[in-house]
Amino acid sequence: MTQSTYKAGFIALIGPPNAGKSTFLNAVLGEKIAIVSPKPQTTRTSITGIRTTAEEQIVFLDTPGIHAARGKLNRFLVDAAWGAVQEANGVVLFLDGSKYAGNAKALERDLRPMAAKLGTLGVPMAVALNKVDQIKPKERLLGLLADCAALWPGVELVPVSARTGEGLETLLKIIREFLPFSPPLFPEDQLSTASVRFLASEIIREKLFLGLEQELPYNVAVEIESWEEIPEENMTMISATIYTSKNSHKGMIVGRQGQNLKKVGQLARQEIKGLLGGKVHLELWVKVREGWTEDGQFMISLGLGS
């Protein structure tokens, strides 16, 4: 690397919910920054993940899935995603390729409006067709590539699998093209601009997502109430509140004899321990806050929207 060839800039990862944006981010960072779940609307804010090499620094902006937004929380999510695009030097639109292979109608329904909007922004961009590990036989992938090219002539299409790593090097090379020549924007050992407090609250939310059925996780938010470091014991004491918007959900979060909450606590504590190093004491409380998904002030206090 010479100073004049170094590149650095912001790349927004956008796309429908569940496309694998956060999985991709974690894969190219080699560390888990963003939480992942099989349920849609997992990511709720634009989260940075910084990948620094000898040649370039890519500041990824992982974003909430773009979907038909009904209700205030959904609008906050979708606004956060489009907001990231405004800040970016380039965009990668993620699609779950396995969902669209052999289903040109669904592809058209989802891709056309995004292509129209992104086309007007004039930001350099590529489309990542993710989850190719699930597209078999390969002819189906060729069909999908042809369908995309017909809908969006000239766009750069990259088949990838965030899970197996297939195609990721190719995509990273394309992303480099989008970056301006610039010295690094962040220290080379910095992985994210998110605070460890925020990352801890996300880890708790992820464990709740994994244990809860259907629409339940959507009504859940996590707030860190207190965070105390005790250096002589190499210990961090964390207390967090889990909010749910419905009284009937509280029992499900807690589970029979507190079993579910206990499991969430154990899994989250283990992972937070990996993040912080040292010992972690984690205390979880569940509170009902009716209608929080419509309460703008409260959502802003949680770091959603602005």
Q: Are strands 47-52 and 56-62 parallel, antiparallel or unpaired?
A: antiparallel
Residue 42 interacts with Mg ion (CB under 5 A): yes or no: yes
Name which of 9 and 64 has its Cβ closer to Mg ion.
64
Among 140, 163, 246, 250, binds ligand GTP (CB under 6 A): 163
**Closest approach of ligand GTP to the CB of residue 55, in Å:** 25
Residue 133 interacts with ligand GTP (CB under 6 A): yes or no: yes
Among 30, 38, 154, 183, binds ligand GTP (CB under 6 A): 38
Amino acid at the residue 4: S
- Candidates 237, 235, 240, 238; CA nearest to 221 is 240
Residue 52 DSSP class: E
Residue 36 interacts with ligand GTP (CB under 6 A): yes or no: yes
**Closest approach of ligand GTP to the CB of residue 171, in Å:** 12
191 in Cβ contact with 29 (< 8 Å): yes
Which residues, in sequence order, are CB contacts of 202 under 8 Å at separation 6+? 34, 35, 222
**Closest approach of ligand GTP to the CB of residue 24, in Å:** 7
Q: Are strands 56-62 and 7-14 parallel, antiparallel or unpaired?
A: parallel
- Candidates 243, 296, 253, 242; CA nearest to 74 is 296
Name which of 131 and 269 has its Cβ closer to ligand GTP.
131
* Cis? peptide before 159, omega within 30° of 0: no
Partner that binds at residue 134, options ligand GTP, Mg ion, none, CB closer than 5 to 8 Å by kind:
ligand GTP
The site for ligand GTP (CB under 6 A) is made up of 17-23, 36-38, 40-43, 64-65, 130-131, 133-134, 161-163
